[in-house]
Structure 1
């Protein structure tokens, strides 16, 4: 697994659903199938804890009747005619929604690109077991590691098939391979936990098991002897695996759905400076071999690379067709199917790298905090308020001095983005990517 899946029955069914809906009296209709299969093995302390395998296919039909819309879900064995009549009957008694409609034919992609999203490598359960054990064994062999939170390895694939009454029929499938391990260093009240992982579309791109295990162990060991730090205002530097969360938060704030519902702290900032001039945020659905890529969105539109924030200035919202209609705009191909609805979302999102290295950012801070982990919800997209628990390392005289735990960092996202500087490191193996980030001033609540 993953193995190429025969999509013919799904293609026939979504086409039949659309045809049946039009015969039942719909003005327009689309049908979608989201399918997936996965296998995973988890281990702990040298023993297999679980072996899981799953397959799924979720199908839905959406119909439009006289400015009204309704959706129904079904399995592949459902009778198209019965399902279509039910959907049309529901739509006729639904309230009108002037923004719900199919995308105009001229916006539909005519020839979806091959983005190299699928790897047919077959990974057996035994291979997954051996990989998980190798990660854990490597980590546990490191001096200072006293326990394990477990390790897992997985392989799977999934995709989407979409048909519309306006002539679109397309599908794509992507694979996914993952490895992760969590370990504990120290004993008693001095224990510290950390982890590492690798997830790629192509099996050959995965980090090897021993490297992942070693990195997880080293991270846990470095956290031993953690202290609290003084309360005050200091520069804060975020490790890339934490910094990715800021890219995601920024994406939520410039999501057209949040803007339309007035639940974003950036809802009135289009065209204005919302971040430091060193911050450029891009989104690219057509990057080859990338986890957030797709040849078309959930409505059949091929998005293009967009510079969402250009040198600090806000240039675009993430838009689906209906959300774009609410805002008086045109979709930019960011619609994502969520059950029977379509909402905008990012694809391959990245805060683009800056000019200074992470070491340069650290060396320029005389006293500050390098964050490697955050926890707690603590982000309010309506006001921009930010407050989260954090752990990492204290910076003294431009160098990491000692591990830190049990502190809270706080500020407002508006101020944080305006003082943010990216380093020149970035890994684009994630659908949301970011380099190391420096924020010039935050409140730290310590001892």
Structure 2
């Protein structure tokens, strides 16, 4: 692992599958092959718990007869002709979908950029085991750590091959290397747990096992002896970057075209209006070189251009695939993602762009408030925007982090929260969703 994707062979099979579908009676068709290779090692308390390896090539075929559509999938070794004929037979008895169809031919990628997504470094199982053990050893060596939740290291690759009946043929591959460890600090009823991790496209860019282990231990120890705080209203809450990334993911869900079409987003009627605090920008860039979620073309063969989804607080774009765009009377922006046999819109390298203030100054300006390091449960109603989630973190007093707090709930409405965000300058763009430390004013805290 990873092995370079055998694009020529897979492209040939996908092309055969499309031609057989047309021969069987389809008017249009596309075929996708998703290739994955991975191996990983997990350890706990100095012993290997599992060593895993997997390989798969998953074929999917979509066929269209007018507005009737059917999709089938299979593993390697299937009969190409039989699969194509089955898909066409299914399409003939399927109800019409007014928005179904391939992407417009004029939108298809003519060139496929090299985004440097693939690192051919072959990491052995022995090396993965050594990394996992080193992470755990580093974490357990920190005074105050009492137990281990385990550590793991993995290496893998994924590849996509796409062929359509109207002229697109392409493939790309990406690698992925990751390390993670979780530990417990304290004893008895006063135990606290936490974790740390890193994930990169290039093996040499991974944080060292020792650094990851140390960070996990320090996070767990900082949480010891938490207190509860009184219920409060109109409180400023600060999200550390790990939590802020999840919050930005919530924003992405609210501007996903599929949610808008289903009327399950509270922002569905807000295109062209201010939805975030003035000065805030959310960008999405599928063409970032070595980007964690980059792709030279989407699941329909379209090059997605970098977009500012929300500019100066104003909503400018939905995430769109072809079918979702048709339903909304718009044009796709190349955000279609294959999920099994379906295509749905999704973000790529998404970022809430940073501000000018340091996280230390941001916290100092809060005075009294809450700094959240972890959130529990879902508690988000995307139709109304109501937001209520369990949280833990640290109390802010006189502009400084003081004691740990837990067993609290923070609540507000996303419409209000979006208009009260202040962002720091500490963004880390190594993940597919990037966000700096951010503060949100006017939240309610349910505590004692």
- Is the TM value for this pair above 0.5? yes
Task: Name the residue aligned to 2:222.
Answer: 222
Task: Name the residue aligned to 2:268.
Answer: 267
- How far off its partner does 1:406 sit? 0.8
> CA separation in 2, counterparts of 1:237 and 1:410?
13
2:431 counterpart of 1:438: no
- The C-alpha deviation readout for 1:358-390, integer Å capped at 9, x for no partner, is 001100112100000001111111111111110
> CA separation in 1, counterparts of 2:15 and 2:78?
13
Instruction: Check whether the contact 1:10–1:76 (CA below 8 A) recurs between aligned residues.
Output: no
Task: Name the residue aligned to 1:168.
Answer: 168
* 1:240-255 matches, cutoff 5 A: 240-255=241-256
Task: Name the residue aligned to 1:353.
Answer: 354
- How far off its partner does 1:284 sit? 0.3
2:187 counterpart of 1:187: yes
Task: Name the residue aligned to 2:419.
Answer: 418
> CA separation in 1, counterparts of 2:182 and 2:252?
29
- How far off its partner does 1:270 sit? 0.3
Instruction: Check whether the contact 2:32–2:161 (CA below 8 A) recurs between aligned residues.
Output: yes
- The C-alpha deviation readout for 1:126-182, integer Å capped at 9, x for no partner, is 100000000000110001111111100000001110000011000010000000010
| 1:364 match: secondary structure | helix
> CA separation in 2, counterparts of 1:38 and 1:75?
17
2:210 counterpart of 1:210: yes
2:132 counterpart of 1:132: yes
Task: Name the residue aligned to 1:393.
Answer: 394
Task: Name the residue aligned to 1:363.
Answer: 364
Instruction: Check whether the contact 2:156–2:175 (CA below 8 A) recurs between aligned residues.
Output: yes
- The C-alpha deviation readout for 1:395-422, integer Å capped at 9, x for no partner, is 0000001111111111111110110111
- How far off its partner does 1:79 sit? 2.0
Task: Name the residue aligned to 2:285.
Answer: 284
- How far off its partner does 1:66 sit? 1.9
| 1:438 match: secondary structure | strand
> CA separation in 2, counterparts of 1:364 and 1:70?
57
- How far off its partner does 1:278 sit? 3.0
Task: Name the residue aligned to 2:373.
Answer: 372
C-alpha RMSD of the superposition: 0.8
> CA separation in 2, counterparts of 1:66 and 1:400?
62
> CA separation in 2, counterparts of 1:6 and 1:70?
27
- How far off its partner does 1:82 sit? 1.6
* 1:294-313 matches, cutoff 5 A: 294-313=295-314
> CA separation in 2, counterparts of 1:316 and 1:77?
42
> CA separation in 2, counterparts of 1:56 and 1:383?
41
| 1:194 match: secondary structure | strand
Query: Aligned pair count?
Result: 447
* 1:99-178 matches, cutoff 5 A: 99-178=99-178
> CA separation in 1, counterparts of 2:280 and 2:44?
42
2:61 counterpart of 1:61: yes
- The C-alpha deviation readout for 1:287-320, integer Å capped at 9, x for no partner, is 0001110000000000000000001100000000
Instruction: Check whether the contact 1:278–1:422 (CA below 8 A) recurs between aligned residues.
Output: no
> CA separation in 1, counterparts of 2:265 and 2:32?
30
> CA separation in 2, counterparts of 1:241 and 1:303?
27
> CA separation in 2, counterparts of 1:388 and 1:17?
48
- How far off its partner does 1:215 sit? 0.6
Give the TM-score of the pair, scaled to structure 1: 0.99
Unaligned runs of 5+ in 2: none
Instruction: Check whether the contact 2:386–2:412 (CA below 8 A) recurs between aligned residues.
Output: yes
Instruction: Check whether the contact 2:5–2:159 (CA below 8 A) recurs between aligned residues.
Output: no
- The C-alpha deviation readout for 1:243-278, integer Å capped at 9, x for no partner, is 001111111110000000100010000000101013
Give the TM-score of the pair, scaled to structure 2: 0.99
> CA separation in 2, counterparts of 1:71 and 1:5?
24
